[in-house]
Structure 1
């Protein structure tokens, strides 16, 4: 049996994800999972809800002091999260 047009499994999976429009959802999931690593354990503990929708990261924080500090650092946080996942997926952050 000859090997013709051998394709790596990674390429096949990537193609399927793009075809079914799941690649964007996977990147959004990676952003959410990276939150604690990027922001730190203390802020992550104060995070009550985090999710992404259409490129916007929504974060609920139970501490008004931390919330105000994060509001001032939104641009840095967005840059750090995008660098962590290797794509410009986060276009805005809403902190509540």
Structure 2
């Protein structure tokens, strides 16, 4: 006997993404990829490790001068990254 409760695979995947809270993780990846676009290639050259944990973006900066400049621009950078993500993903930025 054949079941008639067929569902689209896209609906199943969207439901799975919602249930597993994968959407936030995907948005975090978008934010990390947007880092170079937001700051430009020159500033991106000084970026080392970058990751998000509990809404805090951790960024290793390899130059004290660049780090000082980015600290002063922290809120503007956070706003632009969240705009790229389409919602508030980054609550705070910490430069390492």
Report the TM-score range of the alignment, normalised by the length of the smaller protein. 0.7 to 0.9
TM-score, with structure 1 as normaliser? 0.86
1:95 and 2:92 correspond: no
TM-score, with structure 2 as normaliser? 0.86
Q: Structure 1 segments of 4 or more deviating over 6 A?
A: none
CA radius of gyration, larger in: 2
Q: Which runs of 5+ in 2 are unaligned?
A: none
Q: Which runs of 5+ in 1 are unaligned?
A: none
In structure 2, how many angstroms separate the alpha carbons of the residues matched to 1:6 and 1:21? Answer: 21
State the Cα distance separating 1:12 from its structure 2 match.
3.9
In structure 1, how many angstroms separate the alpha carbons of the residues matched to 2:24 and 2:61? Answer: 25
State the Cα distance separating 1:15 from its structure 2 match.
2.1
State the Cα distance separating 1:13 from its structure 2 match.
2.9
Q: Which residue of 2 aligns with 1:41?
A: 41
